[in-house]
């Protein structure tokens, strides 16, 4: 039996579908948090429990006869403002701590953890004079003036971006990012204490069917798609040149199955990405064209918690887990443009 927390959500539900298609017995735990759900999604079926991963009694019950846990339950996105901070920490970090304690008591020693590329902060950069550098947060005066690229922390030169690998320094830049890194630290400590196996999957920008509609707690692709469904142009921050790796949700589900099939003792982290970087502006334009809606609006606005470029090196997941994404950008966006969004 495999327990999937957050199994009614966007990514979690695709993981559940993939596991069941592979012949696995699956139990779902989901609280149906109002930031993500207005009702029980129509696709939720099979064995599932409506409950909170922060509740120790609920966790004890759902861990009965479980062999491994796929932990997807979390609040995601940048949220609205700092008033969200306690709920992010509660859902993501307290929830993970309660789950890990319950797994230790129940003797469950295999965990696949949904982490995120946000733990890196900015991606990998090189300076002409200083080689590989790790820029700090971008300055508000640069952003106000439309200078969006990070500068070298040593000489102030503009930098060239590259691929970020799993051994890159972590540098979370917002509340959500901080909670995801804390989840990794908690899981690593649990693995050392219990002898368990943790595979942390650092998802890059996931998109696809069942993304939530009209919520600030969602990825940029969902925000663009929601705008198009309302008949509005997707609003692109900065100049749209932010580079990301957009990976289809079915590929992410496949990465979870690969992680379950190749457990390794201790804690190991992997990028889950397509290996096909695109800009945020390209995603908005491709979605608008496929949807047949209004063209994107580039606003020049910014959020201080955002980073400029995060593009993944997918090689470690390919080598250790045998995982490579198979859904191309054009194919995935064309499907997503007309797929139903979740209320």
DSSP lists the bridge partners of residue 29 as: 5, 49
Record the tokens describing residue 208, joined without a space. Answer: 């696809």
CA distance 161 to 173: 18
| Residue partners of 18: CB distance under 8 A and separation at least 6 | 250, 253, 254, 256, 257
Annotated active-site residue 270? The verdict is no
Question: Rounded to whole angstroms, how far apart are CA atoms 323 and 272?
Answer: 8
Closest CA to 176 of 243, 88, 86: 88
Rg (CA), the chain: 19
CB count within 10 Å of CB 82 equals 9
Q: Which of 88, 125, 148, 176 is catalytic?
A: 176
Residues classed as catalytic: 176
């Amino acid at each position: 039996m495999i327990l999937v927390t957050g199994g009614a959500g966007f990514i979690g539900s695709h993981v559940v579908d993939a596991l069941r298609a592979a012949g696995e017995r699956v139990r779902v735990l989901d609280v149906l948090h109002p930031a993500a759900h207005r009702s029980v999604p129509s696709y939720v079926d099979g064995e599932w429990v409506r409950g909170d991963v922060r509740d120790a009694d609920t966790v004890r019950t759902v861990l009965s006869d479980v062999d491994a846990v796929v932990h997807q339950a979390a609040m995601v996105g940048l949220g609205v403002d700092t008033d969200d901070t306690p709920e992010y920490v509660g859902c993501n970090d307290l929830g993970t701590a309660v789950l890990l304690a319950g797994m230790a008591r129940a003797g469950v020693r295999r965990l696949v953890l949904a982490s995120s590329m946000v733990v890196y902060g900015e991606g990998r950069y090189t300076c002409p004079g200083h080689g590989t550098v790790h820029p700090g947060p971008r300055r508000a005066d640069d952003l106000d003036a439309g200078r969006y690229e990070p500068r070298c922390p040593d000489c102030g030169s503009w930098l060239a971006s590259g691929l970020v690998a799993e051994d890159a320094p972590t540098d979370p830049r917002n509340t959500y990012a901080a909670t995801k890194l804390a989840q990794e630290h908690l899981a690593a400590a649990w693995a050392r204490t219990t002898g368990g196996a943790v595979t942390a999957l650092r998802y890059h920008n996931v998109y696809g069917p069942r993304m939530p509609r009209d919520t600030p707690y969602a990825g940029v692709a969902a925000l663009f798609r929601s705008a198009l469904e309302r008949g509005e142009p997707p609003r692109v921050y900065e100049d749209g040149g932010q580079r990301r790796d957009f990976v289809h949700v079915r590929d992410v589900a496949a990465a979870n199955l690969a992680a379950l099939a190749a457990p390794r003792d201790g804690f190991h982290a992997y990028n889950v990405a397509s290996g096909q970087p695109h800009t945020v502006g390209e995603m908005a334009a491709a979605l608008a064209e496929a949807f047949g809606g209004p063209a994107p609006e580039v606003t020049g606005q910014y959020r201080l918690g955002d980073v400029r470029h995060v593009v993944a090196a997918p090689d470690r997941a390919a080598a250790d887990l045998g995982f490579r994404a198979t859904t191309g950008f054009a194919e995935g966006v064309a499907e997503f443009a007309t797929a139903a969004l979740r209320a």
